[in-house]
Structure formats: C-alpha cells, structure tokens
C-alpha cells in the first residue's frame, strides 16, 4: 500500500465446500454466510420485535460492503447477514464519489468497522454500457469516466464484461485509498480491504486476497 493500491490482486479460489469452522474474523463470517446462501441453507432473517430492538441502541457492524445498486445484488442476502451486521453503501457500478467515500470514512472513524469489501458482480449492465457505448444521458458521464479509467489503469486480462467489472473494482479501491482516512486505517492495520466478485447464477462470491493487516475479530 502506498498512496493507492497499484493493482487488483488475483481473485482467490472460493472457500472449500467441506467442514466449516466457526468464523473467527469478519471475512470468514462473510465467507460462511455466502456458503449458506449458495447452498440454500440460510436461515430467515429475524425481524421480530426482539431482533429490531437489539440494534436500536446502536450499530456495531462487523463489515462494510460497497456494492453495485443492481437489484439482483442485495449484500444482506448474499452474505446471509442479519439486522445491524453490515454497513452497506451502494452505487451504480460501485463507482466511488464523495458521498460514497464519506460514508465509508464514517464507518471507519465512528463505527470502527474493521473490514471493507468492494464487490462487483456478473453481468453488470452499468459497467457493460459505460465501457462499450457512448453514454447518452448526462448523468452517465460520471460513471463512464470512472469505469473507463479502471479499464485504462487496470492490470491483467480485461476482456469482456467480467474483466471490466474486475477493473472497476480495482479502480474503486484505488479511489478509496485516495482518502487519507481510509488509507491510514488500511496501512495502520485497523482496516482490511478486500475486492470481491459476485456470480449471479451460482450465488458464489469470490474474494481477492486481503489488502491490509487482518483486524481483530469483532463480536
């Protein structure tokens, strides 16, 4: 880690499908939750009075997730998470702007969340359109500029929509590391940053190698 992350680390293999030990870290909890989602074994999210009252006194999420606003990619479902577990920020294409950065800075400085996952997904319409056609709507110019920046600066094979999505994830991480707050937390070991790719058809999330020192496990 310097002023920015130079390149998106090669995606790691999915977690083993065998015996699953009790999760000890935020990343392991996300892996275990996603495994339950893939297998169709996720328990219904508790939503009764007791479940609502517990987080009403304050939030202690164990992970932040920056993901695309695509309706097919709800992080709480994908990771089988409950109320108060995740601090989720969503934007089309998972593109970073001041609001996204400020929200994640809040998660670090006020909520002390030790893990940030930046997640792209299969068949992302926003990334496909921004990377392959000229935007016709003024609002798409901002998205297209950032997505194309990722394609120019990314490393490895960027062919097809999947490659463009991975490049966009890499660009988002680079943009977030432009924040002195997030960069200091990552380099100081208070924040672990991980890239991820969600496969719509299988439900599987494939994670990159973590960036930053593994944080202390929370609740």
List the pLDDT tens digit at each of the 219 positions of the chain: 333 444 444 455 454 444 444 456 999 999 999 999 999 987 776 666 666 666 666 789 999 999 999 999 999 999 999 889 999 999 999 999 999 999 999 999 999 999 999 999 999 998 988 866 676 677 778 888 888 888 776 544 445 889 889 999 999 999 999 999 999 999 999 999 999 999 999 999 999 988 865 545 444
Rg of the chain (C-alpha set): 17
Q: Mention every residue, 6+ apart, whose C-beta is less than 8 A from residue 162.
A: 122, 197
d(CA 13, CA 144): 30
Nearest to 197 by CA among 103, 127, 110: 127
Per-residue confidence (pLDDT) for residue 145, from 0 to 100: 85
d(CA 84, CA 46): 11
- Distance in Å from the first CA to the final CA of the chain: 28
Structure tokens of 6?
Answer: 């130079």
Nearest to 32 by CA among 45, 11, 15, 46: 15
Per-residue confidence (pLDDT) for residue 119, from 0 to 100: 98
Per-residue confidence (pLDDT) for residue 33, from 0 to 100: 96
Per-residue confidence (pLDDT) for residue 215, from 0 to 100: 45
Per-residue confidence (pLDDT) for residue 59, from 0 to 100: 84
Per-residue confidence (pLDDT) for residue 177, from 0 to 100: 95
Per-residue confidence (pLDDT) for residue 1, from 0 to 100: 36
Per-residue confidence (pLDDT) for residue 34, from 0 to 100: 96
Q: Mention every residue, 6+ apart, whose C-beta is less than 8 A from residue 181.
A: 105, 108, 109
Let me know: does 30 contact 79? Beta carbons within 8 Å: yes
Per-residue confidence (pLDDT) for residue 50, from 0 to 100: 67
Per-residue confidence (pLDDT) for residue 219, from 0 to 100: 43
Let me know: does 7 contact 195? Beta carbons within 8 Å: no
């Amino acid at each position: 880690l310097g002023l920015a992350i130079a390149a998106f680390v090669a995606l790691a293999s999915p977690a083993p499908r065998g015996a699953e030990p009790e999760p000890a870290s935020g990343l392991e909890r996300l892996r275990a939750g996603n495994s339950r989602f893939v297998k169709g074994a996720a328990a219904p999210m508790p939503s009764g009075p007791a479940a609502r009252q517990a987080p009403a006194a304050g939030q202690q999420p164990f992970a932040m997730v920056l993901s695309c606003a695509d309706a097919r990619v709800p992080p709480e479902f994908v990771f089988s998470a409950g109320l108060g577990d995740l601090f989720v920020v969503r934007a089309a294409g998972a593109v970073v702007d001041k609001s996204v950065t400020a929200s994640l800075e809040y998660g670090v400085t006020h909520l002390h969340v030790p893990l940030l996952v930046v997640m792209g997904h299969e068949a992302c319409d926003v990334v496909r359109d921004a990377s392959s056609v000229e935007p016709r709507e003024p609002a798409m110019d901002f998205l297209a500029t950032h997505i194309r920046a990722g394609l120019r600066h990314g490393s490895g094979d960027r062919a097809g929509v999947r490659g463009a999505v991975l490049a966009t994830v890499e660009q988002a991480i680079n943009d977030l590391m432009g924040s002195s707050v997030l960069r200091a937390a990552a380099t100081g070991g208070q924040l672990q940053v991980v890239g991820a790719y969600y496969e719509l058809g299988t439900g599987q999330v494939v994670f990159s190698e973590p960036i930053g020192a593994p944080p202390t496990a929370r609740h």
